[in-house]
Chain A
Amino acid sequence: KNQVEQSPQSLIILEGKNCTLQCNYTVSPFSNLRWYKQDTGRGPVSLTIMTFSENTKSNGRYTATLDADTKQSSLHITASQLSDSASYICVVSAGGYNKLIFGAGTRLAVHP
């Protein structure tokens, strides 16, 4: 069964600190892996998209890694800001937009 599992479910960090969110998946066939940020009351917004051959991709203070052998991905946030408070969703594509498998998300709270 295609699944995407994220950990932790929730995380609280202090402003300025770094954090890493984890994503494990069992999706076949694998097409690409995406990380989305979802602010409360809003739709998800894409942070990164990585294909099988990409190991790392950055978007400002966000850096995603992908290990296709172990089927794991991580999202590292550097020097966190209050505006980083949101849910972060890992999404794996099994071949198209009708085949996106969404994780349940990690809810991050950044406190001053």
Chain B
Amino acid sequence: DADVTQTPRNRITKTGKRIMLECSQTKGHDRMYWYRQDPGLGLRLIYYSFDVKDINKGEISDGYSVSRQAQAKFSLSLESAIPNQTALYFCATSGETGSSTEAFFGQGTRLTVV
């Protein structure tokens, strides 16, 4: 089983619909992250959480919200999806000890907004 699991793996939705992407991890890490990846661009941070009560905006949080339901679960929501949110979304986790700690990524969710 994967250490970081994202669901769904693929999703097509219509403009204006609300959609939730889910992430769960078995690494026991406190820190979780949501990124999006667009063709020709590097991954960009949407939101991150350092523990269950902690939520922080990343570089591109507009149009997104998150929920940290438990240490192992971190969900990303698009309240009203728009076509330019079509992208590949990745969840990641990391441990606490220093910036050299390894990060583990999920397999990604490919979202298409039509």
Binding site for B on A (CB under 8 A): 4, 31-32, 41-46, 49, 51, 89, 91, 93, 95-105
Say how far A50's CB is from chain B's closest CB, in angstroms: 9
CB <8 Å contact, B42 and A102: yes
CB <8 Å contact, A43 and B90: yes
A97-B31, A97-B99 known; A43-B4 Cβ under 8 A:
yes
Q: Contacts of B58 on A, CB cut-off 8 Å?
A: 98
Q: Contacts of B43 on A, CB cut-off 8 Å?
A: 44, 89, 100, 102
Contact with A along B22-47 (1 / 0, CB 8 A): 00000000010100000011111100
A32-B99, A43-B4, A104-B42 known; A98-B56 Cβ under 8 A:
yes
- With A43-B4, A49-B100, A98-B33 given, can you name 18 additional A-B contacts, CB distance below 8 Å? A4-B42, A32-B99, A41-B107, A41-B108, A43-B92, A44-B105, A49-B102, A51-B100, A91-B42, A97-B92, A97-B94, A98-B56, A98-B58, A99-B99, A100-B103, A101-B42, A102-B44, A103-B42
With beta carbons under 8 angstroms apart, the residue of B4, B92, B99 that contacts A95 is B99
- Measured as residues with beta carbon below 8 angstroms from the partner, the interface class of chain B is 20 to 34
